[in-house]
A = this chain, B = another copy of it.
Amino acid sequence: MSRTLNTTPAADGFRMPAEYAPHAGCWMLWPERPDNWRDDARPAQRAFAAVAGAIAGFEPVTIGVSSRQFELARTQIPAAVRLVELSSNDAWMRDVGPTFVVDGRGGRRGIDWRFNAWGGLDGGLYFPWDEDDLVARKVLEIERADRYRATLVSEGGAIHVDGEGTLLVTEQCVLNRNRNPGLSREQLEAEFRAWLGVEAVIWLGEGVFNDETDGHIDNLACFVRPGEVALTWTDARRDPQFRISRDAWERLHDARDARGRRLKVHKLPMPGPLRMSAREARGVHARDGAKARRAGERLAGSYVNFYIANRGVVVPLLDARTDRGALKRIAALFPGRKVVGVPAREILLGGGNIHCITQQVPAAGESPPP
């Protein structure tokens, strides 16, 4: 039902719409691996279920789960959420799921990026990742959407688009030798033009400090509408994040988008700094082949890692000292949407946040033609 195409989306008149364009729904996965999620993933499962419930208030949500956990998951997630069997190596639907593209005339297809667990055997986070690499294909089958099998190694969290021709990425991730060695910046830009239907690429430098994805853009900055970007921020000059965010701010300040606009940058003060506690680290069952979790390790917490739903925004709550301010700022950035906070430290402990565990299905034909 899902044909695999040998062309590229741009050649076929398709392009990736922005996350703030209308959605048909949202996909997630169910966390279970005890070598990444403490206490046999039960606290993370509660957090994922709460995220799914919050998003389900705005649009249909489907969660993929292994055969082993199907019945348990069904008791844990809200009735409004659809549950389907879908094996994976972990639970990062943003990165292993398809990136949907539309043609503005009712067509919707998916890009199935090559996936190597954020770096393969050169700094990747676990081995094997064979089930992960099939997730996009399985989602596209269920969605009855045709599939582009990208030649590029990439993840959904490595790319943000404004829906009007502009792509936002980080050099740390996209130029990393553990993704697509041998491709130059110019070649990668050409690839993204072909796959995402974009015209201009804005390169930031590093991602959030100690972000184990090699600095995914979706934890650092995102478009909130065409011409406007939210950026995680700190004014603490001695914090390692300060230099990173200031560099990103300068690059954004100097950039022009695909339409030639200057960008307006909204600073979102970061939580913390947050660290993994000894108790949290003890709850993870360390295992060869998966990243170790150590007490005291700096967590790459960021409020930018939210999910934009139909008429809503679902935001991670990470620090009682800063949560309220973050919600207020994000609400101001999205006047037409209801902003909902969900406690998300348990997701952060596993290496990402709400944006990382979700993948939107854009409404077919809803995006204005380019």
Contact = CB atoms under 8 A, between A and B. Distances in A.
Interface of A: 1-3, 60, 62, 67, 70-71, 74, 79-87, 131, 134, 137-138, 141-142, 144
Given A67-B134, A82-B144, A84-B138, 5 more contacts: A1-B82, A2-B82, A74-B137, A84-B84, A85-B86
A3 B85 CA distance: 17
A82 B82 CA distance: 18
A70 B81 CA distance: 25
A80 B134 contact: no
24 contacts: A1-B60, A1-B62, A1-B79, A1-B80, A1-B82, A1-B83, A2-B82, A67-B87, A67-B131, A70-B134, A70-B138, A71-B134, A74-B137, A82-B141, A82-B142, A84-B84, A84-B85, A84-B138, A84-B141, A85-B85, A85-B86, A85-B87, A85-B138, A142-B142
Contacts of A74: 137
Contacts of A80: 1
A3 B2 CA distance: 28
A235 to B, nearest CB: 45
Contacts of A83: 1, 141
A137 B75 CA distance: 13
A175 B3 CA distance: 46
B70 A3 contact: no
Contact of A1 (B70, B81, B85): B81
A109 to B, nearest CB: 15
Nearest to A146: B79
A62 B74 CA distance: 23
Contacts of A87: 67, 85
A34 B79 CA distance: 37
Contacts of A86: 85
Contacts of A3: 79
Nearest to A2: B82
Nearest to A135: B85
Query: What are the nearest 4 A-B pairs in CB distance?
Result: A1-B82, A67-B87, A85-B85, A83-B141
A3 B78 CA distance: 10
Contacts of A67: 67, 87, 131, 134
Nearest to A87: B67
> Which residue among A3, A67, A85, A134 has the maximum number of chain B CB atoms within 10 Å of its CB?
A85
Nearest to A144: B82
A259 to B, nearest CB: 39
A18 to B, nearest CB: 26
A248 to B, nearest CB: 39
A80 to B, nearest CB: 7
Nearest to A142: B84
Task: Tell me which of A60, A62, A71, A138 has the highest count of chain B C-beta atoms within 10 A of its own C-beta.
Answer: A138
A250 to B, nearest CB: 46
A1 B74 CA distance: 10
A336 to B, nearest CB: 27
Q: Which of A1, A67, A79, A82 has the most CB of B within 10 A?
A: A1
A311 B54 CA distance: 44
A137 B74 CA distance: 10
Nearest to A1: B82
